[in-house]
Structure formats: structure tokens, C-alpha cells
Amino acid sequence: MSKGLFVIGTGTDIGKTYVTGLLLKYLRDNGYNATYFKAALSGAIRDEDDNLVPGDAVEVLEMANLEEDTDFLVPYIYETAVSPHLASQIEGNPVDLSVVKDAYEKVSQKYDYILMEGSGGIVCPIRYEGKGNENNIMLEDIINHLGLDVIIIADAGLGTINSIVTTVEYLKNRNVHACGIIMNNYKDELMENDNIKMVEDLCDVPIIAKVYQNDINLQLDVDTKELISYFR
């Protein structure tokens, strides 16, 4: 039975896709039959044949040295570079949880471990049809629908304490368990090391890795067995 782990960021443009690629590369380099999955991707580009190409998926697969059809791994692809809920309002084809689950289950038949990347930060509307509408989907709805725990990717620099603590508290209120935090763009400096100490003290969620700029391999502060235990 395949197991999954959800990767979220504290916001947009903090390197979530890059770190997801490092995570997948780490798993595959250590012999695990692991892959990438993303429910909805916006901001796709068109190739020479006018087909939409999900750039995040391509980046992760290239980093991890995995050849796979991106359409198999990303059921909803939008061209407009906005939140999936708005992209689907502009382009049509709104996200359906049953479609996401079906696509996820098909991937799980081929791979033992699935790293599922979220969109933006945790407060990301995936589908929105008006206040109180039963068809609305937030990112945590996908996480809970698939029964996954999460790893949080955050920038190591100024402002990260607030971003991480706010994210962790939101997750707790939505009954989503955060297993660990990875600090991206890390520098071994006083402020960033203090950020790590404060985050661990305030959140009770461990920092499991620090990623320096342009790292090509992930150096975990926990062993591989611990990382694998996060998958559900």
C-alpha cells in the first residue's frame, strides 16, 4: 500500500518546489520507489506544440532524475499564474476532490511513496464558488481527504517566526499534523539560528533540515527511518 506525505510552504516563492525536488531526490537516491504529485498547478507554460507544461512538476522530476508523464502526476493544470480557484474561474475545469483522489490512487499503484506538493501557503483556495458553498475546496480539505501529514517549507530569514507559527497553529485548528520543518535559503548566522531555536520552542515541531542556497543534495537532521515514518 502506497504512503504519502504532503509538502506545504509558509507562502509563495519560498522555494517549496525546489525543496520538494531535493526531498524526492533524497528518497530515490536511498532506494525508495518514490514520486511527486500535485493536485492543481497554475502558471503552466505552453510548449512548441501548444500543450500546457506543469513547470513545477518538470523541475522536481529533473532534480530527482525521474522520468514520468507529468499529466499522470498533476490532474489539474492551469495556464493563468494565480491561485487555482481563480485560475479555474478564468479557464474552467474546477477541481473536484474525487478526481484528485482517483488520480492519487492511480499513482499509488505504481509508486510506494508519494510526495504531494501543495499550492502556495496553507490558506490557499483551490475551488471557490461563494461564501459557504458546499463545493468550495481549501488546501487543507485535500490534505484531510487523503489522510496525510505535512512537512512545512519555510525561508530561514527575517519574518519566518511569524510565518511558521501562524502556519502551524492554522494546521492544528484544521486537525492537520505537521511532522517537521525544513528551512530554505539557510545561512549559518546568529539571526537564522535564533529563528530556528524560537520556532522549535514556540511550535514544538522539529526543524528536520536546513537547505543552503544552491544545494543539490538534502542533508537531513533526522535519519532516513524518521523521514519515512512521516508518510501515511
Give the count of beta carbons closer than 10 Å to the beta carbon of residue 149.
18
Residue 2 has what DSSP assignment? -
Cα(97)–Cα(145) distance, integer angstroms: 8
Cα(49)–Cα(192) distance, integer angstroms: 45
Chain center to CA of 152: 8
Q: Which three cell numbers mark 180?
A: 517537521
From the list 186, 166, 145, the residue with the least C-alpha distance to 6 is 145
25 belongs to the catalytic site? no
Name the active-site residue from 25, 38, 172, 197.
38
Report the catalytic residues: 38
